[in-house]
Amino acid sequence: MKYKRILLKLSGESLMGDKQFGIDNTRLMQYAQQIKETLATGVQMAIVIGGGNIFRGVQAEQGGMERTQGDYMGMLATMINSMALQSALESIGIQTRLQSAIEMKSIAEPFIKRRAVRHLEKGRIVIFGAGTGNPFFTTDTAASLRAIEIDADIILKGTRVDGIYTADPEKDPTATKYQSVTFNEVYEKGLNVMDMTAFTLCNENKLPIIVFDMNKEGNLMRLIQGEEVGTLVTF
């Protein structure tokens, strides 16, 4: 096993499956099964999931809503997704704990680093909801921050594409994929990996990132076993 402790970052949009909005239960269960198989290897796993399938604060601002209010609404959207994933995991026998950056006593523990690490050590999956708890920060930044706090070995960013390309492969058929790329190259070439705050946090704390296609079954397990999947961002 290549990694002892990982943080898996999922986009909210990935939960939509073929839908235009909301949560596709089939996709949710596919993810849960992949996570269960991976957990069986003994790896410790924390998860951060976005809320873009339900609400995006940035889009709300474009529509005339105050950004701060929109961002808090986005944080609540991440909690809905986190609860859905928690429910899916527990339905197949995986112990989970949901920790929220905003206090929600009835549905989640508050984020406490020591408690999160203890859960991980006991083999539970910890889902971190509500972003960082602050407006103007994305769930990518929350993922980077939590990964550093719990001393994760790597961030695995599950997306709809199978790595980092020279251009958007969905728009440019000539785009070519990087097997690996350095943090400096990402800055120099303006590649889109994470938002810059999140990316800089990883760079400054020497935390590598792998961008991979979470929708291809088996990819998560292959990564954990040390196979080259997706694109590695390293130093």
Question: Could you tell me what percent of the chain has a pLDDT over 70?
Answer: 100
Task: Report the domain count for the chain.
Answer: 1
* Band (214; pLDDT cuts 50, 70, 90): very high
Is the pLDDT score of 204 beyond 90? yes
Question: What is the predicted pLDDT for the residue at 161?
Answer: 86
Question: What is the predicted pLDDT for the residue at 167?
Answer: 85
Rounded distance, CA 226 to CA 172, Å? Answer: 30
Question: Could you tell me what percent of the chain has a pLDDT over 90?
Answer: 85
Question: What is the predicted pLDDT for the residue at 56?
Answer: 77
- Mean of the pLDDT values across residues 112-133? 98
Least confident of 46-50, 52-56, 106-110, 121-125: 52-56
pTM: 0.95
Instruction: Kindly give, in sequence order, each residue whose CB lies less than 8 Å from that of residue 15, ignoring residues fewer than 6 positions away.
Output: 23, 24, 27, 28, 31, 49, 53, 81, 84
For residue 67, what is the domain's CATH number? 3.40.1160.10
- Return the HEC string of the chain: CCCCEEEEEECCHHHHCCCCCCCCHHHHHHHHHHHHHHHCCCCEEEEEECCCCCCCHHHHHHCCCCHHHHHHHHHHHHHHHHHHHHHHHHHCCCCEEEEECCCCCCCCEECCHHHHHHHHHCCCEEEEECCCCCCCCCHHHHHHHHHHHCCCCEEEEEECCCCCECCCCCCCCCCCECCEEEHHHHHHHCCCCCCHHHHHHHHHCCCCEEEEECCCCCHHHHHHCCCCCCEEEEC
Is the pLDDT score of 1 beyond 90? no
Question: What is the predicted pLDDT for the residue at 209?
Answer: 98
Rounded distance, CA 164 to CA 199, Å? Answer: 14
Is the pLDDT score of 173 beyond 80? yes
Question: What is the predicted pLDDT for the residue at 64?
Answer: 84
Closest CA to 230 of 198, 219, 221: 219
Domain that holds residue 197: 5-234
Rounded distance, CA 31 to CA 25, Å? Answer: 10
Average predicted confidence (pLDDT) for the chain: 94
